[in-house]
């Protein structure tokens, strides 16, 4: 094994350094996703409004002056899954394919320049395929469940990821919408931090995807 590695040039070794770890990360991510443990990615908008790519403990730039309580469902548009291209999941897929495509291209005798071009092209194509796949899966989920964000108004739930006071961050709440338990991003206008397990009520919606909650 050592002899094989040393026989590789430094240029090809770079692709192996990229391909192996990102492949392992991708496999683990897929296993967690299919096992129901993968919160998804940094996509905001989509069936379950997946925001795992956001630093939920960091400060969030939420202008509370623009967040008002919403009581009229006609003022709210349904959640529409967005076509998010630059996400953590897509970057993992990009570098995985970048590494393997680079190895394959180099072994086929292509020059360094063309090897890099092929690797980048393969990575971008993979990102597009993954993005489209999750986009249409999300669309199918929404079509099957007809989930409307307006139905979250006045519902009672509990905090899943802590929410800081005065819109300090975007946390998560577990709430039942149309008989389906979902994890949704949420903020609070209150002056008190909301710890995990706190019972809250949905009093508004911002950006058609983030719930505004208050402690019961």
Query: Is the model more confident about 124 or about 181?
Result: 124
pLDDT of residue 60: 43
Which of 94, 126, 145 marks a domain boundary?
145
pLDDT of residue 125: 95
Integer Cα distance of 65 and 190 in angstroms: 13
Integer Cα distance of 193 and 196 in angstroms: 10
- Reference 157, options 123, 180, 132, 127; nearest CA is 180
- Reference 38, options 75, 2, 3, 87; nearest CA is 87
pLDDT in tens, 56-73: 333 444 555 554 444 333
Query: Is the model more confident about 81 or about 14?
Result: 14
pLDDT of residue 103: 94
Domain membership of residue 60 (yes or no) is no
Q: Is the pLDDT of residue 8 over 60?
A: yes
pLDDT of residue 138: 64
Q: What is the mean pLDDT of residues 2-15?
A: 85
- State the total domains in the chain: 2
Residue 58 token pair = 């960091």
Specify whether 174 is located in the same domain as 95: no
The residue with tokens 């983030």 is 210
CATH number for 160: 2.40.50.140
Share of the chain above pLDDT 70, in %: 71
Residue 35 DSSP label = T
**Model confidence band, residue 4 (pLDDT cutoffs 50, 70, 90):** confident
Q: Give the residue numbers spanning the domain of 7.
A: 2-38+81-145
Specify whether 98 is located in the same domain as 120: yes
- H or E, element range at 83: none
Average pLDDT, the chain: 76
152: Cα within 13 Å, side-chain hemisphere: 35
pLDDT in tens, 133-187: 877 776 665 555 566 788 888 889 899 889 998 888 888 898 888 777 788 889 9
pLDDT of residue 117: 96
Q: Is the pLDDT of residue 18 over 70?
A: yes
């Amino acid at each position: 094994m050592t002899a094989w590695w040393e026989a590789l040039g430094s240029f090809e070794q770079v692709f192996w350094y990229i391909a192996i770890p990102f492949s392992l990360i991708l496999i683990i991510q897929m296993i967690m996703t299919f096992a129901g443990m993968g919160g998804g990615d940094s996509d905001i908008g989509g069936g379950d409004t997946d925001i795992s790519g956001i630093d939920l403990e960091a400060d969030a730039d939420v202008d509370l002056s623009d967040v008002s309580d919403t009581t009229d469902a006609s003022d709210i548009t349904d959640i529409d899954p967005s076509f998010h291209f630059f996400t953590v999941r897509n970057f993992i897929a990009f570098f995985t394919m970048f590494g393997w495509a680079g190895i394959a291209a180099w072994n086929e005798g292509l020059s360094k320049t063309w090897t890099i071009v092929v690797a980048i092209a393969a990575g971008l194509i993979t990102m597009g395929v993954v993005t489209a796949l999750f986009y249409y899966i999300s669309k199918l989920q929404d079509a099957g469940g007809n989930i409307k964000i307006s139905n979250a108004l006045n519902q009672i739930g509990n905090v899943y990821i802590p929410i800081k006071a005065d819109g300090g961050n975007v946390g998560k709440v577990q709430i039942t919408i149309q008989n389906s338990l979902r994890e949704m991003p949420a903020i609070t206008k209150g002056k008190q931090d909301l710890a995990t397990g706190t019972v809250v009520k949905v009093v508004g919606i911002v950006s058609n995807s983030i719930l505004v909650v208050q402690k019961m």
